[in-house]
Amino acid sequence: MAASSCGGGNSDSATPIWPANAFVLVMLLRLSRSRADDIIMLAAMLTAAFTANLLGGAPTPLTIGYSLINLVDVLLGLLTVRWIGMPRIKTMVAAGKFTLAVGAVPSLAGAMLATALVAWHGTGDPWITGGQWFLSNLLGVLLLFPFGLTVSFRQFAKLRLQDRFLEAAILFALVAATAVAGFRYGEPVLYLVLVGILASSVRFRLLGAGAALIVVAAIGFAAVHSGPDPRDLYWVEMLQLFFAVCSIVGVRTAMLLNERDLHLALLQKKHKSAVRASRFKSQLLAHVSHEVRSPLSAIIGFSSMLESGSLSADRAPEFAAIIAHNGELLQRLHDDLLDLSRAEAGALTLQSQRVAVGDTLKQCIGAIRLDATLGGKDVLVDRVADDLALTADPVRLAQILNNLIANAFKYGDNSSPIRVSARALGDGFGRIEIANSGPGIPKDEREAVFLPFRRAAGAGRNVPGAGLGLSIAKLLVEAQGGRIDFDSVPGRQTRFWIDLPLAA
């Protein structure tokens, strides 16, 4: 092949694979973040190619020409990837298209330029040079890309390489030993190399296939230039065919196994989702049956008493109010369960608009003060800017605030008021805070606060409710692009807050 591909001093020398261009292209794709990075790395590559050809004894015109053609080869590959994007290759057809676009087309362009250069210079056979240029550069892409484009800390973690280092070391040592023996003794030992590549694909997927291909290619590259006749073009071409078969078989095997892993992971995820849904339904039935029993008993019992006429007229309004209150409890439970089911089905609808925080708080607090369940506890607004406005669904925002304030009443002490405040943050969000004095939330219960059907002990009190308020609030806040969190000092105070986008 050309001097740029083997370091020889003439254009008739040949090598089965030229990895330099593929290596530079991988580095550009993985590391370059700007045009300046591209220029620096391409300049370094051009300098290295020029030095290698010069030290190899190539004539000056060929040294300059081969170096520039290498630059064109890499640049065409880079521009092609930037143009078509970096796809997620899931099938062999997609891998073939990507290889054709990024490997074959630039290599063919470089081969044509190399053929023209050798024909102009009059040294060696230009067609042999062009053919070997194309094959060796294309093989470089085939062998280096599976490893170069997949190696990452994420892949190491996915394959648990930190726990399988000894296995990997033994396997790749065997692949290397087999490759050395195969290139020295030929058939049938050489076929064991393919077995080693398949084993690497099975154990370490695409990363293993790529690493094994690199090991085998490096040993084959060295075997060509240390053997008795490095210019045996037929042997080089057979070696190229062998590398191509190894690459296709190893990469295809790894991709098939990756597809199987993906399907198994999806099945496992669906199974976990089904188990979680089954548990949720069981919890739902248990909690609903428990929560509706008391309101229904009250409604049925007091309605029967009113219907029988056994109550005096002056006590009838009192029992009617109890019936109405228990009816409201059932309606709230119904609405919360409906929100959960809509969210589960992805059918939760929101109507975002500009919402004045001050007006919304006044309306919510005014309605809450009329609620008999507060038992006279007051809700104080500490500070709210007059012009503070959020982008939110006004009905849902009121629902969130009602849930948080009702929760603050249930778990706070009976002597201190609930304090509400709101302000704009510096990151484009507005924050509404609800604070109450009381027993607080222990650290060991923090993770369960926003889970449905979970209720704290309430400092020994019988706390009413189905345990859905905070989970509904979290669901509605996050559905509007917001955040919800809290801090708590046990025995002193608990402070919940929601962050929603500020209105423009």
Higher pLDDT, 295 or 4: 295
Radius of gyration for the chain, computed over Cα atoms and rounded to the nearest angstrom: 36
Residue 455, pLDDT score:
59
Q: Which of 422, 436, 434 is nearest to 355 (CA)?
A: 422
Residue 12, pLDDT score:
46
Residue 372, pLDDT score:
45
Query: Using an 8 Å Cβ cutoff, are 111 and 88 in contact?
Result: no
SS3 388: coil
Q: Which two tokens stand for residue 357?
A: 């925080």
Higher pLDDT, 5 or 105: 105
SS3 408: helix
Residue 5, pLDDT score:
43
CA distance 421 to 78: 55
pLDDT in tens, 17-27: 788 888 888 88
Taking CA 127 as the corner, what is the angle to CA 61 and CA 217, rounded to the nearest 5 degrees? 85
* pLDDT, averaged across the chain: 79
Domains of the chain with CATH codes: 1-149 (no CATH), 274-345 (1.10.287.130), 353-501 (3.30.565.10)
Residue 10, pLDDT score:
43
- Please write down the long-range contacts of 365-370, taking CB distance under 8 Å and 24 or more positions apart: 365/405, 365/420, 367/402, 368/402, 368/405, 368/406
CA distance 352 to 44: 54
CA distance 352 to 389: 12
Residue 9, pLDDT score:
38
Which of the residue ranges 65-74, 123-132, 456-465 would you say has the lowest mean pLDDT? 456-465
CA distance 200 to 65: 39
Q: Please identify which residue in the block is written with the tokens 């209150």.
A: 325
Residue 280, pLDDT score:
66
Residue 490, pLDDT score:
79
Q: Which two tokens stand for residue 392?
A: 């939110």
Residue 458, pLDDT score:
46
The amino acid at 254? A
User: Over 70: is that where the pLDDT of 135 sits?
Assistant: yes
Residues 6+ apart with CB under 8 A from 176: 215, 219
CA distances from 449 to 166, 279, 364, 387, 470 (A): 44, 18, 23, 32, 7
Question: What does the pLDDT average to over 158-170?
Answer: 87
What are residue 333's DSSP bridge partners?
A: none
Pick from 43-47, 226-230, 461-465, 469-473 the range whose average pLDDT is largest.
Answer: 43-47
Q: How confident is the model at residue 175 (pLDDT cuts 50, 70, 90)?
A: very high
- Range 270-303 burial, b when 16+ CB lie within 10 A, else e: eeeeeeeeeeeeeebeebeeebbeebeebbeebe
Distance from first CA to last CA of the chain, Å, rounded?
65
SS3 368: helix
User: Over 70: is that where the pLDDT of 370 sits?
Assistant: no
Question: What does the pLDDT average to over 80-98?
Answer: 76
Helices 469-479 + 316-345 axis angle, to 10:
50
- Percent with pLDDT over 70 in the chain: 81
| Helix then strand then coil, % of the chain, to nearest 5 | 65, 10, 25
User: Over 50: is that where the pLDDT of 11 sits?
Assistant: no
User: Over 90: is that where the pLDDT of 344 sits?
Assistant: no
Q: How confident is the model at residue 177 (pLDDT cuts 50, 70, 90)?
A: very high
CA distance 378 to 399: 19
Residue 141, pLDDT score:
86
Residues 6+ apart with CB under 8 A from 275: none
Residue 286, pLDDT score:
66
Against a cut of 0.75, is the pTM above it? Answer: no
Burial of 394: CB neighbours in 10 Å, binned 0-12, 13-18, 19+: middle
pLDDT in tens, 206-239: 889 889 988 998 888 787 766 555 446 777 778 8
- Percent with pLDDT over 90 in the chain: 10
Which phi and psi angles does 426 have, rounded to 5°? -90, 0
User: Over 80: is that where the pLDDT of 37 sits?
Assistant: yes
Residue 1, pLDDT score:
39
pLDDT in tens, 416-449: 778 888 888 888 898 989 888 877 787 777 777 7
User: Over 50: is that where the pLDDT of 172 sits?
Assistant: yes
